[in-house]
Amino acid sequence: MGFMMSKEQRVRGSKYAAGFKRQLVGESRAAGTTVPMVSARHGVPASRIYSWRSDPRFQPSAPETTAFTPVEIFAGDAPELPKDAILSSARIEITLENGRKLSVSDGADAGFVLELARGLAA
């Protein structure tokens, strides 16, 4: 499964945009993920991803805000939602190794979710 980019997304002289490189570097540094896994997922040679990982220009940027985001952690199953609750169609639930569950809806910043999951898994 490859990643398609328009001409506007490409950086002059490069097949891949800087943002795409940062995305792959971030994915390759996620817990439980390896460079070969990211390479296979996006069709980019692992050697390229390794070189981007050592390049400071392509390191994932730090979150722009330092404010706390309220999070509710459930010991067991999540509570039942009212039948008339409107839910986003883009919603995933992540079960961490320690059994905690993290529910993420559309629009959540991937970097924030990754850091939150790391913190909850600790």
pLDDT score of 50:
93
Q: What are the residue boundaries of the structural domains of the chain, listed by start?
A: 7-58, 62-122
**How do residues 5-41 score in pLDDT, each as one tens digit?**
544 444 455 788 888 898 899 888 888 888 999 999 9
Place of tokens 């924030």: 112
pLDDT at position 84 is 60
Give the per-residue pLDDT at 48.
93
pLDDT digits (tens, 9 = 90+) for 46-103: 999 999 999 988 887 655 445 566 666 766 666 666 666 555 456 677 777 777 777 7
The predicted structure's pLDDT at residue 11? 46
CA angle, 98 then 49 then 112, to 5°: 40
